[in-house]
Chain A
Amino acid sequence: MSESEMAPTNDSHRNRFFSKISLLVARWMIPTDDRGRIRMVVDSLILHLHPSKVPQSTLKWTYTWGLGGLSTLLMLILGVSGLILLNNYTPSAPQAYLDLLELRANVWFGEWVRNLHHWSANLLILVAVLHLVRVFLTGAYRPPRQLNWVIGWLMLLLIAAANFTGYLLPWDQLAYWAVTVGSSLIAYLPLVGEGLARLALGGTEVSTNTLQNFYALHISFIPLLIFALMSYHFWRVRKDGGLSIPKTSAAQEDGRMERVTTIPHLVQRELVFALVWVALLIFIAKLLPAPLEDIANPNLSPNPAKAPWYFMGFQELLLHFHPTLIVGLLPFLLSILVVSLPYWDNRFESVGVYFRSPKGKRLTQLAIGTALVVTPLWVIADEKWFSWVDWLPFLPQWITMGGLPFISILVFFLLADRAIERWFRASLEERVLFHAAFLLTAFVVLTVIGIFFRGHGMALVLPWQG
C-alpha cells in the first residue's frame, strides 16, 4: 500500500512534535454530538478493513462483479443462521431428523432459518467458483497475488467440506445416501482412501458415529478455519497493493491512477450490494423450501443414488474411468497445476485485462463452444459404442479404463495445444486460457449431465422423461 510506505527518518524529535500536534488537532476535530461520534467510530472501524482511498477504476462493478464480497456476506449469513439452528438440533441418529420435523412444524421461523442456511450454503459454492473464475480471467492470480490464489483454493476446498458435512445433518434419505456415495468416492483414493473413509465415517458405513463426526467438523473446525483464512485473505488483498487494476487492453497504460475515498465511494456500493442480496435471500428462503425426504433407512437405497450436486461431475467421470484416475491422479495433477500456475503463467502486462487480449477472448469462446459440443457427444459415445474394456477384455481394468483413456486424452490435449499455437499464433497465456476454459466448461457439462440426465440405474435419460 502506498499509504503505508512512510519514508524512514532519523529526525525523531520532529516526528514526535508533529504527532503531538496532529493528536491535538484530532482531539479538536472530534465531533461533539453523538451522531457524529458514532459516525467517527464506525468510519475508523471500516478503515481497519479497507484502505482510506481506492483506485476509482477498481470500483467498476463489471470488474469484480462483487463476488468476493458476496462470498463474505454468505459466510456471515451461514455463521449466524447456523448458530440459530443449533438451538433446535440434536446430532444423534433418529433424533436429528425428528428435530427438523419439529423445526418445520412448531418453531417460529424455524423452516425459514433452515432454508436460509440451505440456500446460502449452496449459493456459496457457485459464487466462490465464479469468484475464482473472475480472478482467473483477469490474471489476478499472478505475482504478487499468488499466495491469495492458494489461500482461495484452500477456502474453496473447505467450503466444499462444510457443505458435504452439513448435507448429512438432516438425516433423511437424501442425506444418508449422498454421504454414502460421497464417502465411497473418498475411499477410492489410493493408499489412504480406505482408512480415511473409515475414520471419517467412524465405522464401515454411515451411522450415528458419522453424524457426530460430521457435526463436530461442521459447526466448529471447518467454519473456524474458513473465517481465519478469510481474515488472512482480506489482509493479503491490502498487502498485495489492493485489487489488481482493471485495464481494457494490455497495451493501455494508465498514466495517473485516479483515487477516490473509500468512504463513501466503496462502502456505499458494498452496502447497497449486500442489502440487495439480503433481500433476495430473504425471499428465496421464504419461497423455496429446503428438501427433507423420509428418514434415513440404511436398508433401502434409492434408485439412482447420487452424490450432492457439486460432486456429480466426479460421479459422472467415475462412470467412464478407473476410480484411481479420477479420485487420485486427477486431483493430484490439478493441484500441482493450480499452485504452480502463478510461477510460469505470470506476464505482468495483462493482469487486469479480461481474457488477456482480444485473441484470448476469441479462443475462450472457441474453447467453450467446443466443450459444449464435444463433451455430451463423448459421454454418449463412451456409453454406447466406445469401450476399451470390451475390445481388449484380457487386459485389467486399470489399463482399459485408466491408462488407455488417460493417454488418449493426453494426446488429444497435446494436438489441440499444437493446433491453436500454429493456427492462431496463441501465446502461452492464451493457450492456458483456452485449456482452462475447455476443462471448466467440460466439467460443468458433466455435472449437468450427472444431475439431470442420469436416471434409473444411472442410465442416460432425458430429464422430462424421468
Chain B
Amino acid sequence: MENSNPASLSRRSFLHLAYAALGSLAFLESGLILFQYLQPRLGEGEFGSKIKAGLVNDFPPNSVTHISNGRFFLVRLAEGGFLAVYQRCTHLGCTVSWEMAQNKFICPCHSSHFDQQGDVENPPAARALDLFAIEIINQEIWVDTAKPLSRQSFAPSQITYP
C-alpha cells in the first residue's frame, strides 16, 4: 500500500506502532510487578516493622540498652535524648556489641570501634553506625526498623527528645 502523504500514518504502521508501544508497556509492567513482588516481606512486631522499645523512664540517662528483637541499641544520652543505633557494623555487616568498660561499640569481625553516638573511632568502618527513626508517643518509645538511616557521622539533629 502506497501512502502519498508522508505526514499521515498508514493503518499498518499505526498498528505496528501500537503493538510496539503496548508490548513495551506490558514488558515494563511485568518488570515492575517482579520488582514489587521481590520486595522485603515484613511481619508485625518483628524486626523490619515498628517496634516498641519501652517507656521513656525505663532508660536512665547515659545508658545503652540492647533491644534484641529490634536488632538495635537504644542509647539515652547524658542530656536525656534518644538514639536507636542499628547493631549492624557499617564495614561488612557483623553485629557490634556494647562494651560498657570501654564506653564504646566494638565489632568482633575486623575491630572497628564506635563511640556512644555511633561515630567511628577506629577503621576499617568508614562511616558511623546506622540509625532507626524514633517516635515517642505518650512516653512510649517506638522504633521503625524498616529502613536503616545511613549517615556519615553524628549530628545533634539525629537525637529524639521525649
Question: A-side interface residues toward B, CB under 8 Å?
Answer: 177, 180-181, 183-185, 198-199, 201-205, 207, 209, 213, 298-305, 315, 318-319, 323, 389, 397, 457-459
Does B160 count as interface, using CB distance less than 8 angstroms?
Answer: no
Task: Determine whether B38 belongs to the interface, using a CB cutoff of 8 Å to chain A.
Answer: yes
B109 at the interface (CB under 8 A from A): yes
A457 CB contacts on chain B under 8 angstroms:
108-111
Cβ-defined contact, A185 with B92, below 8 A: yes
**B162 close to A (CB within 8 Å):** no
Of B41, B47, B48, B109, the residue contacting A305 (CB under 8 A) is: B109
Residues of B within 8 A of A323 (CB): 126
B147 within 8 A of A: yes
Residues of B within 8 Å of A202, CB to CB, are: 38-41
Q: For the A-B complex with A202-B40, A389-B123 known, give 17 more contacts whose Cβ atoms are closer than 8 Å.
A: A180-B94, A181-B109, A184-B91, A185-B92, A203-B40, A203-B42, A203-B48, A209-B40, A209-B41, A299-B95, A301-B95, A301-B109, A304-B109, A305-B94, A305-B110, A457-B111, A458-B109
Whether B95 pairs with A181 at a CB distance below 8 angstroms is no
Residues of A within 8 A of B124 (CB): 318-319
Among A203, A323, A459: residue with most chain B CB under 10 A: A203
Contact A213 B38 (CB under 8 A): yes
With a cutoff of 8 Å between Cβ atoms, the chain B residues found around residue A180 in the complex are 92-94
How long is the Cα–Cα vector from A299 to B47 in the complex, in angstroms? 13
Q: Mark B101-112, 1 if CB is under 8 A from A, else 0.
A: 000000111110
Q: Bound state CA distance, A198 and B148, in angstroms?
A: 11
Contact B88 A205 (CB under 8 A): yes
B71 within 8 A of A: yes
Distance of B77 from chain A, by nearest CB (Å): 24
**B68 in the interface, Cβ–Cβ < 8 Å?**
yes
Which one of A181, A203, A207 lies within 8 Å of B92 (CB-CB)? A181
Q: Contact: B48 with A204, CB < 8 Å?
A: yes
A459 → chain B, closest Cβ, in Å?
A: 8
Instruction: Note all chain B residues with C-beta closer than 8 A to A204.
Output: 40, 48, 88, 147-148
Measured between alpha carbons, how far is A458 from B68 in the docked complex, in Å? 26
Most A CB contacts (10 A, CB to CB) among B41, B110, B126 go to B110
Q: Is the CB of B40 within 8 A of A301?
A: no
Per the bound structure, the CA–CA distance linking A49 and B35 in Å amounts to 39
* Nearest CB of B to A164, in Å: 15
Question: How many residue pairs between the two chains, A and B, have CB atoms under 8 Å in the bound complex?
Answer: 78
Across the interface, which residues of B come within 8 angstroms of A181, CB to CB? 92-94, 109
Shortest CB distance B25–A (Å): 23
CB distance from B129 to the nearest CB of A (A): 13
Complex interface residues of chain B between 83 and 122 (CB less than 8 A to chain A): 87-88, 91-95, 107-111
Question: Are B95 and A298 closer than 8 Å at their CB atoms?
Answer: yes
With both beta carbons as reference points, the residue of chain B lying nearest to A200 in the complex is identified as B38
A183 touches B108 (CB 8 A): no
Cross-chain contact A304 with B88 (CB below 8 angstroms): no
State A80–B160 Cα separation when bound (angstroms).
Answer: 56
25 A-B pairs with C-beta separation under 8 A: A177-B109, A180-B92, A180-B93, A181-B109, A198-B40, A199-B35, A202-B38, A204-B48, A204-B88, A204-B147, A204-B148, A301-B95, A301-B108, A302-B108, A303-B109, A305-B92, A305-B108, A305-B109, A318-B92, A319-B110, A397-B126, A457-B108, A457-B110, A458-B111, A459-B111
- Kindly state the separation between the CA atoms of A300 and B108 in the bound complex, as whole angstroms: 9
**Closest 4 A/B residue pairs (Cβ):** A301-B94, A457-B111, A303-B108, A184-B93
The closest CB in chain A to the CB of B150 belongs to: A194
A418 to chain B, nearest CB (A): 35
Instruction: Report the minimal beta-carbon distance from A446 to chain B, rounded to whole angstroms.
Output: 16
Contacts of A185 in B (CB 8 A): 92
Task: Report B-chain residues with C-beta under 8 Å of the C-beta of A213.
Answer: 38
Cβ–Cβ < 8 Å partners of A299 in chain B: 68, 71, 87, 95
Contacts of B110 in A (CB 8 A): 304-305, 319, 457-458
How far is the CB of B133 from the nearest CB of chain A, in Å?
14
Contacts of B108 in A (CB 8 A): 301-305, 457
> For residue A177, which residues in chain B have a CB less than 8 angstroms away from its CB?
94, 109
A183 proximity list for chain B (CB < 8 A): 93
Minimal Cβ-Cβ distance residue in B for A212 = B41
Cβ contact within 8 Å between A184 and B71:
no
B39 to chain A, nearest CB (A): 8
Residues of A within 8 A of B47 (CB): 207
Residue ID in chain A nearest B48 by CB atoms? A203
B112 to chain A, nearest CB (A): 9
Residue in A closest to B146 when the chains form the complex, CB atoms: A204
> Given A204-B147, A205-B88, does the pair A199, B48 have CB atoms closer than 8 Å?
no
Residues of B within 8 A of A205 (CB): 71, 88, 93
Find chain B residues with CB under 8 A from A397 CB: 126
Nearest-neighbour CB distance to chain B for A385, whole angstroms, equals: 17
